[in-house]
Structure 1
Amino acid sequence: MKYPFETISELITQGRPDDAAIGAPGRPALTYAGLQDLAARTVAALNRVGIGRGDRVAIVLPNGPEMATAFVAAASGATSAPLNPAYRADEFDFYLGDLNAKALLILRGFDSPARAMATQRGVPIIELVPTEGAGAGDFTVETGDLASTAPLQGGIATAEDVALVLHTSGTTSRPKIVPLRQRNVAASAHHIRETLALTHTDVCLNIMPLFHIHGLIAAVLSSLAGGASVSCTPGFNALKFFGWFDEVKPSWYTAVPTMHQAILSRADRNKDEVARGRLRLVRSSSASLPPQVMEALEATFGAPVIEAYGMTEASHQMASNPLPPRPRFPGSVGIAAGPEIAIMTDAGTLQPSGELGEIVIRGPNVTDGYEANPEANAKGFTAGWFRTGDQGYLDEDGYLRLTGRLKELINRGGEKISPLEVDTILMDHPAVAQVATFAVRHDKLGEEVAAAVVLRDGMSVDERTLRDFAAERLADFKVPRKILFMAEIPKGPTGKLQRIGLAKQLGLEA
């Protein structure tokens, strides 16, 4: 397939020069012409101090328009490496070293341990200074007393240059570095643009963190690829969401399921804002969306909910439910929406429709491999297919059904249990607002089923009643033996529920 653009610098020419590209609540927008100028100025400034194509620029900024434009501008002529601004000193030390960062780009005046760690490692610090009175996200860079030198490779990045490096979550092992080339992220942005039919009339309200693949590609780059605009908030805040929603008048937003649930919990108090809205669609990704939440979102906003399936190694999107009039199904992440998708056995044999196995992908948005990690690459790739680590099956219509992460499946005495299946059943109880089913160690069975549950405001149910409810709908071995009622279930930095390690986090294991 021939793509209309293969680099970020080409991607940001898709909009009309005077149209809004990057916005933020309460601020004027940066136009496409302004964004292109910013990218050119930034690349030139980096080149003057010896930073060019392939050199890694660690970016530590609060969520907002400057984070979006810093990513785009740095990646136009170097390699962007966004880091979570909430990291502790030891985490910054690890990531700056592991990335072999050529510089740290940080907001002027931003108090962060990243500064001390960069200084300790001899990583030059470049200050980002927002431009007063200009469009949202416009900035200049101050390189201080850095020596003026020529980079090994200067100018605008090519399709084969690495645009973005991110680490995998590292839930059970050392995080792996995922390098994504310009052509990888450009292809994924194009896929999302096509899936959602984005045009210059669309406005995305971004509430996702911009150190994560979901926000960077699905919200920012896909919008720019469609000549649309993205309004960048300071990050998710359920109390402020409807105020931003009313001001920005987005045509769509994308989020993880826990954010959607928090939005729904406040929707009744914001009916006027919802009624004034113009949502064309709601997108969900990065974790499985409970069918009950999908139905509630559609009823609340009167717009289709498009659930998609993504991961860092695929530059985000792999599958997505299509827009109407094509069907979308609760509990399915849709059809292949970018790369090819197949189901594979442990031995590497591709499976027919309806057969359960590991989901594998191949295509232009998929990374060429983990950096300096031959063991992970040997495990992660089979016959040109990337193994996602997720289990599922393709139905006869080509819709993908996930049954869970392979490493999250609960092995109870040899019986494999999908936490997602148990979640879905418990979510049907009228008192239940949120569920995370997880494994807890058991002396004889190896693992046992447990669940953390958040109840709806003003409602109550006891553990025995909820277990009885589950027992009427699940095989006995799948019924949680332990249910914990909580005010909030612990989440990761991107808002996803994290099953692995939850037992220890909740004090159920030493």
Structure 2
Amino acid sequence: MKTIPEIVNFFNDDQAYITTEDQPVFTFADVKKQIDSTKDFFEKNHIQKTDTIAIVCENGPVMATSFLATASNCCAAPLNPSYTSSEFDFYLEDLSPKALIVKEGSNSPVIEVAKKREIKIFNLLVSTKDPSGKFSLASKEENISNAINQNDNIVPDDIALILHTSGTTSRPKMVPLTHLNLCTSAKNIVQTLNLNRSDKCINIMPLFHIHGIVGLLLSSLFSGGTIFTSPGFNALKFFSWLKTFSPTWYSAVPTMHQVILTRASRNSEIIAETKLRFIRSSSAPLPSTTMKEIENTFHCPVIESYGMTEAAHQMTSNHLPPGKRKATKAGFAAGPEIAIMGNKKNILEKGKIGEIVIRGESVTKGYLNNPKANNDSFIEGWFRTGDQGFFDEDDLLQLTGRIKEIINKGGEKIAPLEIDDTIMQHESVFQAITFPIIHTKLGEEVAAAIVLKTKHQLTEQELKEFLRNKLAPFKIPQTIIFLDEIPKGKTGKLQRLGLAKTLGLE
């Protein structure tokens, strides 16, 4: 199955696909009906499969189905609903969408931005009496001429999704992903995790991010399983969802796992009744201490994977038991072909550190309208991830960090991930992130931001003493700052780049 409509047509039955707390379930047959009704509306409004439709909607079942229905007929571009007017203006200018889908009655600033840019607005109508995820579309434009006949069926090479890179260090880039990209990645996840129709997952990831879209929504679709589409991550409600829905798995970023753990002790009875086969972590490295605590708390294996938008999410993953898995390892190749490239464009052997490169059917063919980025990012058929790492003796990938994040201390190249994980081994540390600060003689010096566990105390000197037995002297942070909260990105990942400036250290 190489397109989203193919997957939907394959199942097309009365098994629940989407569930929520307070509405009837949305079946695989309902998905098929929703795609067909959306196609009729698009044809009446002259939307063709090569057009891009922006979607601004809060997390939940309608966000999930509006993405699936749009991507099954043209190109979907879901945007973070919390963006400001200026951010929406940037993204709509970049995308040049034919239309915007937004919930009726929404007061989002994207509506005024779309009007100024003369972008069609399609209102998304829902009823709480309908199955979760069912919607209809309406346009306020009058005198629509005869509908176009969209005879062209969706094919694997059609673009289904456009997402932007985070733009942490440069202007965000548009990543087009085809149906083949998305379905290949979803299939890889299904195979890695042995997902089937009896599996049920909870989605707490945003559905404008590749982790939520492919790692949960499309992998559940491809396996014929069921997904609980939450309104977004909420640590106060997570355990009630766990009790009500009884999932077999969920996936999240490390910071979400850490917050969930802080509430685990008061929900021990619910945890005792859970039927989790495994818990997945992706989108950022998972500290070894957090992995151990999750497994001890939920009594199931933690499967860490490594992915990125340009690869339609998953690239490597640890194995389910009885297969191998190791803390702090990104896992085995579990999608595209993956290799380590040296400075001379040569592929390196095991144990050698270099840039991680990938190629395969899940990898984007290139950024949109950005020839310079494409020239910089593709080399001899390989896509350069910008991440640094190596394969160990067991063929497990070890990430050492983003190349742009490697700290250069007087010529010594320091991987911040190693220091992060070592700091996290202290019993009083809840979260930690290592980052560079400017040094007049060395160029860069190592610094760290720390969040302590509730009711724990720790001084800078005590932490440095702890690290002296575990790290080489030049790796020990010379500046340690204790914070109530470490700044996070839109998807909950800790923000390393630019942290020194954010904290007023440069």
Instruction: Report the TM-score when normalising by structure 1.
Output: 0.97
SS of the equivalent of 1:453 reads strand
In the TM superposition, residue 151 of structure 1 has moved relative to its aligned partner by 5.3
Cα shift readout 1:448-503 (whole Å, capped 9, x = no counterpart) = 11111011111101011111211221111111011111111110010000100111
Q: Partner residue of 2:271? A: 274
* Structure 2 counterpart of 1:329, from 326, 329, 332: 326
Cα shift readout 1:71-91 (whole Å, capped 9, x = no counterpart) = 100000110000000000001
In the TM superposition, residue 148 of structure 1 has moved relative to its aligned partner by 3.6
* Structure 2 counterpart of 1:135, from 127, 131, 137: 131
* Structure 1 counterpart of 2:381, from 362, 380, 384: 384
Check conservation: 2:14, 2:27, Cα contact below 8 A: yes
SS of the equivalent of 2:438 reads strand
Check conservation: 1:412, 1:448, Cα contact below 8 A: yes
Amino acid at match of 2:301: P
* Structure 2 counterpart of 1:246, from 235, 243, 246: 243
Kindly report which structure 2 residues correspond to 1:106-185, keeping only aligned pairs within 5 A, or say none. 106-145=102-141, 147-148=144-145, 150=147, 156-185=153-182
Q: Partner residue of 2:231? A: 234
What is the CA–CA distance in structure 2 between the aligned matches of 1:96 and 1:403, rounded to whole Å?
35
Q: Partner residue of 1:17? A: 13
Q: Partner residue of 1:197? A: 194
Q: Partner residue of 1:502? A: 499
Check conservation: 2:315, 2:335, Cα contact below 8 A: yes
Q: Partner residue of 2:66? A: 70
In the TM superposition, residue 397 of structure 1 has moved relative to its aligned partner by 2.2
Q: Partner residue of 1:38? A: 34
Cα shift readout 1:325-350 (whole Å, capped 9, x = no counterpart) = 11111011111111111000122110
Cα shift readout 1:206-226 (whole Å, capped 9, x = no counterpart) = 000010000000110000100
Check conservation: 2:43, 2:149, Cα contact below 8 A: no
* Structure 1 counterpart of 2:84, from 85, 88, 96: 88
Check conservation: 1:15, 1:200, Cα contact below 8 A: no
In the TM superposition, residue 276 of structure 1 has moved relative to its aligned partner by 1.3
Distance 1:7 1:121, change over 3 A: same
In the TM superposition, residue 372 of structure 1 has moved relative to its aligned partner by 1.4
Q: Partner residue of 1:359? A: 356
RMSD of equivalent CA atoms: 1.2
What is the CA–CA distance in structure 2 between the aligned matches of 1:131 and 1:225, rounded to whole Å?
27
Query: Which segment is superposed worse, 117-126 or 45-54?
Result: 45-54
Q: Does 1:459 align with 2:462?
A: no
What is the CA–CA distance in structure 2 between the aligned matches of 1:207 and 1:229, rounded to whole Å?
14
In the TM superposition, residue 14 of structure 1 has moved relative to its aligned partner by 4.2
Q: Does 1:55 align with 2:51?
A: yes
Check conservation: 1:6, 1:183, Cα contact below 8 A: yes
Distance 1:403 1:14, change over 3 A: farther
Kindly report which structure 2 residues correspond to 1:286-435, keeping only aligned pairs within 5 A, or say none. 286-435=283-432
What is the CA–CA distance in structure 1 between the aligned matches of 2:427 and 2:128, rounded to whole Å?
50
In the TM superposition, residue 27 of structure 1 has moved relative to its aligned partner by 2.4
What is the CA–CA distance in structure 1 between the aligned matches of 2:115 and 2:416, rounded to whole Å?
44
Check conservation: 2:4, 2:68, Cα contact below 8 A: yes
Kindly report which structure 2 residues correspond to 1:199-214, keeping only aligned pairs within 5 A, or say none. 199-214=196-211
In the TM superposition, residue 400 of structure 1 has moved relative to its aligned partner by 0.6
SS of the equivalent of 1:163 reads strand
SS of the equivalent of 2:227 reads strand
Amino acid at match of 2:88: F
Amino acid at match of 1:256: V
Q: Partner residue of 1:472? A: 469
In the TM superposition, residue 413 of structure 1 has moved relative to its aligned partner by 1.1
SS of the equivalent of 1:438 reads strand
Check conservation: 1:204, 1:229, Cα contact below 8 A: yes
What is the CA–CA distance in structure 2 between the aligned matches of 1:12 and 1:427, rounded to whole Å?
43
Check conservation: 2:305, 2:315, Cα contact below 8 A: yes
Check conservation: 1:43, 1:78, Cα contact below 8 A: no
Check conservation: 1:291, 1:331, Cα contact below 8 A: yes
